[in-house]
Structure 1
Amino acid sequence: MSYATARLPREKVFRDPVHNYIYVQHQVILDLINTREFQRLRRIKQLGTASLIFHGAEHSRFTHSLGVYEVTRQICDNFQRNYPMEIPGDGGWDDRYRLTALCAALLHDIGHGPYSHTFEHIFHTDHEAITAEILTSPTTEVNQVLRRVSPTFPEEVASVIQKTHPNPQVVQMISSQIDADRMDYLLRDAYFTGTEYGTFDITRILRVMRPYKDGIAFAMNGMHAVEDYIISRFQMYQQVYFHPVSRSMEVILDHLLARANELYQNGNEDESFVPHLLLPFFNHKFDLKDYLNLDDGVLTTYFIHWRDSDDEILADLAHRFLDRKPLKSAIFSEETQDLIPHLRELIASAGFNIDYYTATDNSYDLPYDDAYDPRVTHPLTQIELQEPDGSLRELSTVSDLVNAIRGKFSGDQRFFFPKEMLSPDSHDPELFQPIYDEFKQYIQNNQLIQPKETDHHDH
């Protein structure tokens, strides 16, 4: 028996709050889980700063990656049992691709860095490109495991994540508008944040999935389960992923790393400041080993040191992040964005460095995109519903509910500023009171909208 087909003598299971059990049947999957690079994902939170708002959201990219693997395993089982390929090109499932799909599902997030999206923005890294490098670099344990399957297997698995694999069914399992990745993170994030509106009937969706020549479709009688998934995703983006306080903490994190980078570039030689594991990124000369040395805990340790820095801005931003002191925000639009320069002037007059204490941020999501555009580098496929005669219909042409939201972006633009501008507390209230009063009046008179703080997580 080859390593590629080697099954464990007895399947291993991981207890999981979302899927109950995660079943590991292949030796290669167990070996990948035990690699250094995959174990590192235990130390990176799935939701980053959102855990500062939803206190239960302490789950990691490790748990999510196992979940995506499990959903993919169930899809493969369903396809092989009910829709196996009988002759090449008939649109059925070719089970020779099972291990490729399972490994791609397990490893799809292995290139994420600490506080991933903020880190990427500051240091211009690309987690998908780094994922491919981890898979294909002979220096990694992951690559060594994959090469035991075949010399070309690392590149094959990487091609699924890069969306260049020739089998569209395998690609769409991992990356499409309704895939194993999204299904797991929606259910997992809903569970750990305690937000019931993120749930949907995954059992039904997996039941109505089926392969066809150009990818994956869903039985017409499963349309309502797919609708439920689309609406759940929409709700999660509005209530969790775009939460204004989470975005505020991301702004602070972004500015904290930017300040540290600026101090280093300006020659700060204070030994208590120097973040040795970040220096390759400050110098724009990092390699894969440098990247894999980082996780959330490494950054948090540096933030603890920086809280006592001689640089007032660095110390204050570290305090705000570690001790959860978010910025306030106001929604603005194209009609009101011209008001922001004056607000910044008032904030500067109150003694704040506007480069580090103000920001604009827009968060938008497209709940469902029916405008498939093959000219895009990696277009997301439409969701296809399959009639009993085998013909396909795009989801929004059948579902009035999805048609109502198709192609419509949801989200907002926010201007972030220090909370002290609204409630000065210890920030010299007497000296700057006229400025604070003008700031508040300016926001109210010009109808900039501040979020209402009604829910238990809207601190």
Structure 2
Amino acid sequence: MYLCSIARALISKITSSAIPSTYALEIQVFMASPCKARDSETATLGAPSTGNVLNHPHGTDIVDPIHGTITVHPLLSAFINTPQFQRLRFIRMLGPAYFTFPTGNHNRFEHCIGVSYLAMQLVETIRRNQPELAVTEADCLAVGLAGLCHDLGHGPLSHTFERFLREACPDKKPWDHEAFSISIMEDIVESRNLMPLLRSYHLDEIDLIFVKELIHGQRLVGRPKEKAFLYEIVSNKRNGIDVDRIDYIYRDAFNVPVVACTPTRFSEVIDTARAICVDDDWQICYAARFAHVIWELFDTRRELHRRLYQNQANGLGERMTLDILLAADKHLTFVGPDGVSFRLTESLKSLPHFMMLNDGIISQIRDSFQPEMKTARDLLNRLFTNERYKFICRTDLVKSLGGIELAKLKVDLTRMVKSSLQKSPHREMRVDDVVLIHQKFDYGMGEKNPMERISFYDRSNLSAAVKMSTEDFDVSSPQYWLEESVSLYYKHDDVTIIDELRCAMCRWAEERKLRILLNPDNLKPLRSARNEKGDHDAILPDAELTKAVKKDLFSIYNMEEPADAKIKGEFDVLARLDEFEANKVKPK
């Protein structure tokens, strides 16, 4: 029997450290109980049902802007109609990006429903096209439930809350929102007594373990090796093509249209999905004729990071939001259902406390009147009124910054500026006033080509997997699969310190042969003051510029006072150059 084989496999697995602690104990309890065959259609592994879980006659219809009308299975509706799941309505997908992109106000609630729908659609496609794999309704519902619950553990402001915890509690183990998702799902099952309902749809304790494994993207005991492909649907550790990524890419691009993409194109790709055994490992493969659509998904993801997620304005907005939370944490308190007060960083100690948190914490900070909250309120007002930290410069995108340590770079830049400001003792500068934002742009797999990890099939042989490269479908591979950049900001308006920081950053970059950009959108490169031959003219965009402008510009780079007292830095020089280029008039 299937469950007995699982129990035997668990004997060697149970002591392994690879089993997540969130459900290792439950596995032990499951082993201790006698193995019982499943009733009805699932008594024998792989006994398929003729029903389609996507069109249940008692399902609930939800109109989704990405996927159209979704019929939600009654079992999933029982999870959706709980306070734990409804909390996701008040957690925005893009966190503080809403302050930069006003249309980015969609939430985790709709995303989770979309992921669940795509997950079940993908399972039903394989189930329909390959009945020999014996995919059951229990498989489909378990995968759909994993997609529905995979983001239950997100805190307020989504991923920004995770970054806040890393900075506020650097000595503690990094927080895992997936583990909290599993804990909340267990709380829903227990508090709503959903186990009888689960059993009525032929899902038992081992299926719940399977759901938890799906959320982690790691196969242990939930399903046999022949169904390993099911673990690539919600969280695909092999190549990143999973329904979670598909939904958030299309949903984010729809709500913040900085990148053009059409969700219906990938629906066609899902309709071609097949499970194929590749090197004794069952994987999800797609029709070779849709390889270019999959590549477009990776390319769209990178563009979203460049234009949306890590956009200069958005990245700075998130940095300010982190500073707001850090300033507020010591003084902002909440009262849990047990009457106990707690802070943001203490919310993880109790699930009921954590469940109270959502994006409303921003309103609580705004409406607070305690004198201790003034720093956080003032920062929030700056964010609301677009009085953000001052952009100074950034490095051009390169393949690698050599494992840059931002904390050390901040100290080095501050030391160089303080050394230059010795003549101005009245000016004070703190390391914490310097802001560095590290940006990374890749195609989903770091320095690796994600297309190399995807298997395809040709219509002439549906059971043989093949590999494809970008050249196979007329697309040029990028020069680098991963590019990095670092941007420099200052929290105040002191022009002198800003210019000194810019010069210090230029010297740091020149030592590493990096280009410095003065424009946050990568439009104006600021090259070194000398080319390889030592020619100063290499930096100047037009030969007709007067010697006075040249001299002023070189004085700035050489840390000397410019002849023109009105010129304070490169921005002033570039402003004169821009005016000259626009009017085509030689500067006086």
Q: Which TM-score band (shorter chain)? A: 0.7 to 0.9
Secondary structure of the 2:132 match is coil
Give the conservation status (yes or no) of the 8 Å contact 2:451–2:470. no
For these two proteins, the number of residue pairs brought into alignment is: 421
State the distance in 1 between where 2:480 and 2:252 align: 25
Secondary structure of the 2:318 match is helix
Alignment gaps of 5+ in structure 1: 265-272, 374-378, 423-433
State the distance in 2 between where 1:199 and 1:318 align: 36
Q: Which residue does 1:160 correspond to in 2?
A: 214
2:86 corresponds to 1:39: yes
Letter in 1 for 2:176: D
Secondary structure of the 1:174 match is coil
Q: 1:287 aligns with which of 327, 350, 354?
A: 350
Letter in 1 for 2:185: L
Give the conservation status (yes or no) of the 8 Å contact 1:146–1:153. no
Q: 2:453 aligns with which of 379, 382, 406?
A: 382
Following superposition, the deviation at residue 304 of structure 1 comes to 0.9
Letter in 1 for 2:111: H
TM-score (normalizing by structure 2): 0.63
Q: 1:172 aligns with which of 232, 247, 267?
A: 232
Segment drifting more, 335-344 vs 217-226:
335-344
Letter in 1 for 2:157: Y
Give the conservation status (yes or no) of the 8 Å contact 1:198–1:236. no
Secondary structure of the 2:466 match is strand
Following superposition, the deviation at residue 96 of structure 1 comes to 3.8
2:315 corresponds to 1:247: yes
Q: 1:208 aligns with which of 261, 269, 272?
A: 272
Aligned pairs (5 A) from 1:388-407? 388-389=460-461, 390-396=463-469, 399=472, 404-405=477-478
State the distance in 1 between where 2:115 and 2:467 align: 25
Q: Which residue does 1:303 correspond to in 2?
A: 365
Following superposition, the deviation at residue 9 of structure 1 comes to 3.9
Give the conservation status (yes or no) of the 8 Å contact 2:413–2:501. no
Following superposition, the deviation at residue 224 of structure 1 comes to 1.8
Q: Which residue does 1:125 correspond to in 2?
A: 175
Following superposition, the deviation at residue 204 of structure 1 comes to 2.3
Question: Relative to structure 1, is the Cα distance of residues 348 and 280 closer, same or farther in structure 2, using a 3 angstrom cutoff?
Answer: farther
Q: Which residue does 1:315 correspond to in 2?
A: 377
Question: Relative to structure 1, is the Cα distance of residues 231 and 294 closer, same or farther in structure 2, using a 3 angstrom cutoff?
Answer: same
Following superposition, the deviation at residue 323 of structure 1 comes to 4.0
Segment drifting more, 245-254 vs 149-158:
149-158
Deviations 1:198-220 (A, max 9, x none): 44621221122222231201111
Following superposition, the deviation at residue 13 of structure 1 comes to 1.1
State the distance in 1 between where 2:434 and 2:335 align: 28
Following superposition, the deviation at residue 239 of structure 1 comes to 1.0
Q: 1:106 aligns with which of 142, 148, 171?
A: 148
Q: 1:359 aligns with which of 426, 435, 447?
A: 435
- Let me know the Cα RMSD of the aligned residues: 3.8
Question: Relative to structure 1, is the Cα distance of residues 50 and 281 closer, same or farther in structure 2, using a 3 angstrom cutoff?
Answer: closer
State the distance in 2 between where 1:348 and 1:84 align: 79
TM-score (normalizing by structure 1): 0.79
Following superposition, the deviation at residue 399 of structure 1 comes to 3.9
Deviations 1:181-232 (A, max 9, x none): 1111111101100224344621221122222231201111221221222222
State the distance in 2 between where 1:228 and 1:284 align: 40
2:75 corresponds to 1:15: no
Following superposition, the deviation at residue 109 of structure 1 comes to 0.8
Secondary structure of the 1:404 match is coil
State the distance in 1 between where 2:241 and 2:441 align: 15
State the distance in 1 between where 2:90 and 2:189 align: 21
Alignment gaps of 5+ in structure 2: 1-38, 43-50, 166-173, 199-203, 510-514, 524-588
Letter in 2 for 1:181: D
Q: Which residue does 1:52 correspond to in 2?
A: 99
State the distance in 2 between where 1:360 and 1:439 align: 12
2:257 corresponds to 1:194: yes
Following superposition, the deviation at residue 36 of structure 1 comes to 1.2
Give the conservation status (yes or no) of the 8 Å contact 1:361–1:413. yes
Following superposition, the deviation at residue 403 of structure 1 comes to 7.3
Deviations 1:234-259 (A, max 9, x none): 21121111111111111112122222
State the distance in 2 between where 1:349 and 1:85 align: 79
Bigger Cα Rg: 2
Q: Indicate the percent of aligned positions where both proteins have the same amino acid.
A: 21
- Name which structure has the greater RCO, CA cutoff 8 Å, separation 6+: 1
Deviations 1:420-449 (A, max 9, x none): 245xxxxxxxxxxx4455456666787642
Give the conservation status (yes or no) of the 8 Å contact 1:370–1:396. no
Letter in 1 for 2:381: H
Letter in 2 for 1:97: D
Letter in 2 for 1:67: G
Secondary structure of the 1:114 match is coil
Give the conservation status (yes or no) of the 8 Å contact 2:99–2:384. no
